[in-house]
Structure 1
């Protein structure tokens, strides 16, 4: 080995380690920005949903996703219009629905629309039978205020400015006492992740408002459970949440 060769090799190894650490640091910084933006988006959506309390709605934030111990739901609101799962996304750039597919900056986002359907199905599965058909869901894109679309797979996509109006426009399907009971019991049902009827002390089905008149469109969720799966769902969404 010539003079200085050993030190040169050590310097090369140190440079390689430094390069790897720089790449890891850059990935960590990007992850921090992404998660920070997501947290900001959830806060903004949460603030809008909390404003609906005066209209008889109760909002739950960052609650357990039934059947998924390490996953949470951004928001679940209970009110006169039923139970609505809201998945918040704080995306930059462009977002639209083309050919029935949600796209963000031109890229398909099928897993996000599928996710909100699965979330809604999971929530419906733990509710009393009389309430399950009144579960709805939407993907709320914080930075796309007036967006209102529906994808081919049945997912509703709303901008932040459309969210409150859409919820307030839902026809009443739950009485005030039903809303109060659901708001009280729902966190426990989501945490346990089992149907309400299977609990040791089942929650009595909340009283619904007067049944819908003949000819009026029905609301809520058609839950199709595939053989061998815990949750598999296709969401039949409320008429009000459809694009006019």
Structure 2
């Protein structure tokens, strides 16, 4: 096993705590002796709360991945991207593929929008709750490119895993620009479907852990 699998959601939780402390300091500075009361009565800023929401999403996806971890399925959480402030939420190495997973805790229904295809070029967009969230696809594909550089020659799979989304009772998961869009239970099933193959799990896990250190 690798020595440090990392803690799911750790960097998002730290950023939430940092922002919350800054918000509290600002409010106390504005209100002086009434600062404690003002802090208690002031709603948390949406931009601050978003980090806490994101951390919970990563933790829930991480728990689903840890449940299927074994000697042949290695799971790494919350890994720093070198020379970047960004991180990779989850990396899973199986005998059949190296998975790069971005966890999101969004409300609304994820949907695939396809435009063109006959006269105009085909384009695929990720829509969540009626809003274009295709930037999430770009982000996870960029993360996958970093993984590919670190462990060349291995099949790379990508996924956006949504927690608390409005999934339909039947179906629901889909693929947009090679990125699987799904929920934790379905993601675990998809990962288990790649449990056979020629990937050297030990070697790839060691290389990934060395290149992408834990954020915590």
Who is 1:147 aligned against?
A: 172
Who is 2:90 aligned against?
A: 75
Answer yes or no: is 1:118 the counterpart of 2:146. no
Who is 2:209 aligned against?
A: 187
Q: CA contact under 8 A between 1:79 and 1:174: conserved in structure 2? A: no
**TM-score normalised according to structure 1 size:** 0.60
> How many residue pairs are counted as aligned between the two chains?
163
Who is 2:153 aligned against?
A: 130
SS state of the match for residue 181, structure 2? strand
Long gaps (5+) in structure 2: 1-29, 32-37, 115-123
1: CA distance, partners of 2:88 / 2:190:
20
2: CA distance, partners of 1:54 / 1:96:
32
Long gaps (5+) in structure 1: 1-16, 192-244
Question: RCO greater where, 1 or 2, for CA within 8 Å and sep 6 or more?
Answer: 2
Kindly state the Cα deviation for residue 49 of structure 1 after the two structures are TM-superposed.
0.7
Who is 1:60 aligned against?
A: 76
Q: Bigger CA drift: 109-118 or 139-148?
A: 139-148
SS state of the match for residue 52, structure 1? coil
2: CA distance, partners of 1:80 / 1:32:
39
Residue number among 30, 36, 40 corresponding to 2:56 in the alignment: 40
Q: CA contact under 8 A between 1:95 and 1:102: conserved in structure 2? A: yes
Sort the Cα spacing of 1:55 and 1:98 in 2 relative to 1 into closer, same or farther, 3 A.
farther
- 1:108-132 CA-to-partner distances (Å, cap 9, x unmatched) read 11110111111101110111x332x
From the CA coordinates, give the structure whose radius of gyration is larger.
1
C-alpha RMSD of the superposition: 2.4
**TM-score normalised according to structure 2 size:** 0.67
Sort the Cα spacing of 1:126 and 1:82 in 2 relative to 1 into closer, same or farther, 3 A.
same
1:158-173 alignment, distance < 5 Å: 158-170=182-194, 172-173=196-197
